Each structure stands twice: as structure tokens, then as C-alpha cells.
């Protein structure tokens, strides 16, 4: 018997949907608003939630992160009376089970309830059994936990995995975690750094060569593909693989056979491929810089790692873990970290992500090894300035007049041009006005609380600051370094 919650302000639809759930043998409770739904879900676990988009107190999609973060991890079916392609994309990308448009037939309702609950029932035991070896992967934020769940699900298979994400997000650590939790854990983990593959020697390094194959080949040499036999081949920065080499490598992936340079017969290598890149491979395919057939081979299972700026709640654990490791490696007493240092680190944008954070801490510790505590003064000026800018910005935000949106009359109205300019100029003007109108209302409705504004708008803090700055809204002092 499943536990179902219906969040919809249409009383007739509530009754009909609840009746269908009851006839199928499930428990159903209803709520007429986001606030009522959140209160209901906080009191009792749910397996499935039907969530309307248009509710009296806001857009139902705003409640999606809260619902998915619940301990019972319910499936969510979005229902709407008016189709919206953008809303559907947002819902599906954020893990909704489906996006349905009213009216719904009885057959549709029954099928979706059955399928969603079947999936949910099988998902929970699988999640409970996951006990990952995660080594240096630190953090418990929702973003990183989702990636670790993906590692657990793909590790037990032989499928290829493509790990994407910005530089410094920990792609190699995740590749190692996939290997360590797989059936190949006792085999080798071989790294191919595509950024350092000389184009003329790429095939020799990958496939190996025999003595005399070329001028400097003084002895037989095993290639990286042969070395990975029985284990995992990690193709790091796959987007940098030379175009000529991609064709040869594709055949290796298809057949698991290769021919060392200068050898007259082929050899086999039983390896699993895990690739990583910080580039948009599909964009490279469209530009003719990456083979489409190789892209589809690599992208069997995709894990996208979040940037550190989207993992703010993990920063304290990362800092403490790195400080401990750095001090031990350098034979120093473990340093303490004052709250102000953590606040300063949390305020920074971290364009270099986790790698930059680790390097920053190492420099700070080595610069004053005898001090038992890490203070903000030990950090680089550009990082300390970020916190100061944020504090100044927050003080300005407390004064509505300095934050842009009018306090009494509400946001400025959108003004349509009297004369008709060319289409592109007309669209540009109106798009800018609409953006400004939205941002003014956003600041007014959230009392200029940037954290709330990010939650309501779905924008990252850095993107919101960029937009506020672009539209001249006074509280948007960018906290990132110049």
C-alpha cells in the first residue's frame, strides 16, 4: 500500500484523484497550497506526490527541491492545467517522475500511480544497501549525494561512464570511486591524460609499440590500453583527444582489440572505460571537433559534478578534511579554524572549485606553519575581499531604497516602444525590460534577501548578482574578485 499526497487547489480534481488512489488500495491525503503541502509532508512520509503547478501561494515547481529532499524520497508527478514546455523541462531535469496536463483519463492516472510506486518500492532497498568506498570525496549536500548515488548505481555495471563538470570539481576522484566500487576493483586503474598526449606519439602511448617500430623505439613498450587489461581505463579530459586518434580509439572501444605500432597482429584488452571532460562535447561534435560516434560511445552513463559554489553546505567539511590532511602530510600539529575563516571561505565564488580550495588552504597553512589556528588573515586578499563585499551588500539590502525596487509602488511597468523598431531590437528592448521587471519584483517579494531570491528564482547566487548588476539594481555588489 502506497502513501500518496495530492497538492492541488482544484477541489473536484482532489476528490477524483484521491478516489482513484483509494480504489487501488493506497492511502491518499490532500492539500490545497504549497504551504499546506509542505506541512503535510513534514508530518508524514510519502511515496508519491501529485503536485499542481498553479497554486494559490506560488508555482508548485518551487516546492520540488523540498519534496525531493525528504527522507522518504517520494516520486513527484507534476500536473498542470496549462502545458508549459519550459516548466516541463525544469521538472524533468530536477527529477520529477513525469509532467502531465489536465484533463487526465482514469487509465493515465492508474498507470502512472502503478509505475511510480513500483519504481519507488524497488529504489528504496537499493539505496539502503549502498555502502560506497568514497575515499577523498567529502560532503553530504544534496548535489554531491545525488552524484554518489549515481556512482553506486553504475559501479556494479560494465557500462562506460562520462563524468562532466568544471575544472577542479573532482572528476578523477569520482572515476576512482567507480573503479573502487566495481567488480574490477582489484584490477589496474590506468589514467590517460589527453591534454599531454603528443599527436604524433598518441597511438604509440595508447597502443604500445615493438622494438624498431620507429627511430626511438629501443625496446617493446606496453601501451596504456594493454596496461588497463582487467581494470579501468580513465580517459581524462577526453575533449582534448586528437581528432586523428579518435577514429583509432573508437574501434578499440567497439571491439576491445588494438594493434601495437609495428606489430603484425592484434591484441585484446578487457577494460572498462570511464571518461571525463570539462568541455561541452556535443558542442564540439556540432563544430566538427569531436566524432559523434565516439561521443555516443563515451556517453552511455553521465555523471555531472556540481561546482563548489552550488555546494555551500559542504565547505566546512571540506575545509576541516583538507586542513587535517595537509597538516598530517607536512608533519604539523592539526590547526584549528575559527568561524570567521569558514565564513570568508564560504563567501568566495571558487572558480577553480574544490582543487582551488585545497590549494588555498595548503598555501595558508604553509605560510604560517607554527600558528595553531587558521585565521582570515592567512587567506589571500581577493578571498577576504569577497566576504567584505558580501557584508557591505547585505547592509545595503536592508535599506529598500538602495536595492532598486520601489517600496510602495512596486516594480516599474514594462514600456512598449511607440514606434516599431527592427524585430531584433524590439525583442532586445523588451527582454531587458522583462528581466528588470522580474528582478525588481523578486527583490520586493523576498525583501531583498539574496538567499531567498535564489530559492524563488532558481538562479545561482553568481548569476543573480550578474543580472542585478547588469540592470543597475543597487544592492548587487558582486562578491567575486575583480
Helices (H) and strands (E) in the chain, counts: 19, 18
Q: Are residues 161 and 223 in the same domain?
A: yes
- 80 three-state secondary structure: strand
* pLDDT tens track for 397-417: 554 433 333 333 445 556 666
CB 269 within 8 A of CB 229: yes
C-beta neighbour count of 207 within 10 angstroms: 26
Which pLDDT score, from 0 to 100, does residue 251 have? 85
133 inside domain = no
Last-in-domain residue among 304, 325, 344: 304
User: Which are the contacts of 438, defined by CB distance < 8 A and separation ≥ 6?
Assistant: 457
Phi, psi values for residue 74, rounded to 5°: -65, 155
The full 3-state SS of 413-431, as one line of letters, equals: CCCCCCCCCCHHHHHHHHH
* pLDDT tens track for 416-445: 666 777 777 777 777 888 888 888 888 888
Q: Are residues 251 and 325 in the same domain?
A: no
Which pLDDT score, from 0 to 100, does residue 400 have? 42
Which pLDDT score, from 0 to 100, does residue 431 have? 80
136 inside domain = no
Last-in-domain residue among 304, 338, 364: 304
365 inside domain = yes
Which pLDDT score, from 0 to 100, does residue 417 have? 63
Q: Check whether 304 has a pLDDT greater than 80.
A: yes
Rounded distance between C-alpha atoms, residue 137 and residue 144, angstroms: 9
Which pLDDT score, from 0 to 100, does residue 289 have? 92
Query: Which of 302-316, 372-386, 446-460 has the weakest average pLDDT?
Result: 446-460
Q: How many folded domains does the chain comprise?
A: 3
Last-in-domain residue among 59, 93, 127: 127
Which pLDDT score, from 0 to 100, does residue 128 have? 39
137 inside domain = no
Q: Are residues 464 and 326 in the same domain?
A: yes
Burial class (CB in 10 A: 0-12, 13-18, 19+), 451: exposed
Cα dihedral sign, 49-54-57-59: positive
Percent of the chain scoring above 90 in pLDDT: 38
Q: Which domain holds residue 89?
A: 3-127
Identify the band that residue 185 occupies on the pLDDT scale cut at 50, 70 and 90: very high
Which pLDDT score, from 0 to 100, does residue 472 have? 74
Which pLDDT score, from 0 to 100, does residue 399 have? 45
Q: What is the CATH number of the domain that holds 234?
A: 3.40.50.300
481 inside domain = no
Q: Check whether 61 has a pLDDT greater than 60.
A: yes
Which pLDDT score, from 0 to 100, does residue 326 have? 95
DSSP strands (E only) in 137-264: 161-164, 189-193, 208-209, 221-222, 232-236, 257-258
Identify the band that residue 154 occupies on the pLDDT scale cut at 50, 70 and 90: confident
Q: Characterize the bridge pairing of strands 54-55 and 27-31.
A: unpaired
Q: Are residues 154 and 172 in the same domain?
A: yes
166 inside domain = yes
132 inside domain = no
Q: What is the CATH number of the domain that holds 366?
A: 1.10.8.60
DSSP 261: B
Q: What is the CATH number of the domain that holds 34?
A: 3.40.50.2300
Burial class (CB in 10 A: 0-12, 13-18, 19+), 227: middle
User: Which are the contacts of 482, defined by CB distance < 8 A and separation ≥ 6?
Assistant: none
Identify the band that residue 124 occupies on the pLDDT scale cut at 50, 70 and 90: low
Which pLDDT score, from 0 to 100, does residue 237 have? 93
Q: Check whether 169 has a pLDDT greater than 90.
A: yes
Q: How far, in Å, are 135, 334, 426, 435, 436 from residue 419 at the CA level? A: 64, 69, 10, 21, 21
Which pLDDT score, from 0 to 100, does residue 270 have? 93
The highest-confidence range among 82-96, 118-132, 294-308, by mean pLDDT, is 294-308
Q: Are residues 345 and 295 in the same domain?
A: no
Identify the band that residue 146 occupies on the pLDDT scale cut at 50, 70 and 90: confident
Identify the band that residue 106 occupies on the pLDDT scale cut at 50, 70 and 90: confident
CB 360 within 8 A of CB 379: yes
Q: Are residues 326 and 262 in the same domain?
A: no
Set of cell numbers at residue 255? 571491439
* pLDDT tens track for 321-364: 999 999 999 999 999 999 999 999 998 999 999 999 999 999 99
Set of cell numbers at residue 178? 567507480
Which pLDDT score, from 0 to 100, does residue 87 have? 64
Q: Are residues 65 and 82 in the same domain?
A: yes
Q: What pTM does this model have?
A: 0.65
446 inside domain = yes
Q: How many whole angstroms from its chain centre is CA 118? A: 27
* pLDDT tens track for 230-276: 999 999 999 998 888 888 888 888 888 888 888 888 889 999 999 99
Q: Check whether 375 has a pLDDT greater than 70.
A: yes
Q: Are residues 274 and 403 in the same domain?
A: no
Is the peptide bond prior to 374 cis by the omega test (within 30 degrees of 0)?
A: no
Which pLDDT score, from 0 to 100, does residue 138 have? 92
Q: Are residues 450 and 349 in the same domain?
A: yes
Q: Are residues 212 and 260 in the same domain?
A: yes
For 21-42, what is the mean pLDDT? 91
Identify the band that residue 85 occupies on the pLDDT scale cut at 50, 70 and 90: low
Q: Characterize the bridge pairing of strands 58-59 and 54-55.
A: antiparallel
Q: Are residues 54 and 109 in the same domain?
A: yes
Q: Are residues 237 and 384 in the same domain?
A: no
Amino acid at each position: 500500500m502506497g502513501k500518496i499526497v495530492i497538492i492541488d487547489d482544484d477541489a473536484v480534481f482532489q476528490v477524483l484523484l484521491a478516489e482513484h488512489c483509494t480504489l487501488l488500495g493506497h492511502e491518499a491525503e490532500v492539500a490545497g497550497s504549497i504551504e499546506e503541502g509542505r506541512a503535510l509532508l513534514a508530518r508524514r512520509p510519502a511515496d508519491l506526490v501529485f503536485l499542481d503547478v498553479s497554486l494559490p501561494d506560488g508555482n508548485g515547481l518551487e516546492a520540488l527541491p523540498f519534496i525531493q529532499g525528504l527522507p522518504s524520497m517520494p516520486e513527484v508527478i507534476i500536473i498542470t492545467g496549462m502545458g508549459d514546455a519550459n516548466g516541463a523541462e525544469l521538472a524533468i531535469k530536477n527529477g520529477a517522475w513525469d509532467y502531465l496536463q489536465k484533463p487526465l483519463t482514469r487509465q493515465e492516472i492508474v498507470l502512472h500511480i502503478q509505475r511510480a510506486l513500483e519504481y519507488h518500492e524497488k529504489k528504496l532497498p537499493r539505496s539502503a544497501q549502498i555502502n560506497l568506498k568514497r575515499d577523498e570525496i567529502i560532503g553530504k549536500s544534496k548535489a554531491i549525494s545525488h552524484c554518489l548515488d549515481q556512482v553506486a548505481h553504475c559501479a556494479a555495471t560494465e557500462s562506460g561512464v562520462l563524468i562532466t563538470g568544471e575544472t577542479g570539481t573532482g572528476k578523477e576522484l569520482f572515476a576512482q570511486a567507480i573503479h573502487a566500487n566495481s567488480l574490477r576493483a582489484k584490477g589496474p586503474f590506468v589514467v590517460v591524460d589527453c591534454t599531454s598526449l603528443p599527436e604524433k606519439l598518441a597511438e604509440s602511448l595508447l597502443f604500445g609499440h615493438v622494438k624498431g617500430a620507429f627511430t626511438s623505439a629501443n625496446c617493446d613498450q606496453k601501451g596504456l590500453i594493454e596496461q588497463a587489461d582487467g581494470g579501468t581505463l580513465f580517459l581524462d579530459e577526453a575533449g582534448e583527444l586528437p581528432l586523428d586518434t579518435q577514429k583509432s580509439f573508437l574501434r578499440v572501444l567497439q571491439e576491445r582489440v588494438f594493434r601495437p605500432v609495428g606489430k603484425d597482429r592484434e591484441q585484446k584488452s578487457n577494460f572498462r572505460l570511464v571518461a571525463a571532460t570539462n568541455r561541452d562535447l556535443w558542442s564540439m561534435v556540432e563544430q566538427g571537433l569531436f566524432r559523434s560516434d565516439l561521443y555516443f560511445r563515451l556517453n552511455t552513463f553521465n555523471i555531472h559534478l556540481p561546482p563548489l559554489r552550488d555546494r555551500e553546505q559542504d565547505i566546512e567539511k571540506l575545509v576541516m578534511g583538507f586542513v587535517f590532511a595537509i597538516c598530517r602530510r607536512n608533519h604539523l600539529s592539526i590547526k584549528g579554524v575559527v568561524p570567521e575563516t569558514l565564513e570568508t571561505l564560504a563567501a568566495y565564488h571558487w572558480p577553480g572549485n574544490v582543487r582551488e580550495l585545497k590549494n588555498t588552504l595548503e598555501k595558508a597553512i604553509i605560510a604560517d606553519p607554527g600558528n595553531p589556528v587558521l585565521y582570515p588573515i592567512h587567506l589571500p586578499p581577493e578571498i577576504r575581499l569577497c566576504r567584505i563585499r558580501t557584508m557591505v551588500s547585505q547592509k545595503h539590502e536592508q535599506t529598500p531604497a538602495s536595492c532598486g525596487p520601489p517600496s510602495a509602488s512596486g516594480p516599474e511597468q514594462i514600456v512598449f516602444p511607440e514606434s516599431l523598431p527592427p524585430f531584433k531590437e524590439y525583442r532586445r528592448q523588451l527582454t531587458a525590460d522583462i528581466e528588470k521587471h522580474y528582478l525588481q519584483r523578486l527583490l520586493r517579494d523576498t525583501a531583498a534577501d539574496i538567499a531567498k531570491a535564489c530559492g524563488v528564482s532558481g538562479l545561482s547566487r553568481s548569476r543573480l548578482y550578474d543580472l542585478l548588476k547588469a540592470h543597475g539594481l543597487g544592492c548587487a555588489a558582486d562578491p567575486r574578485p575583480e
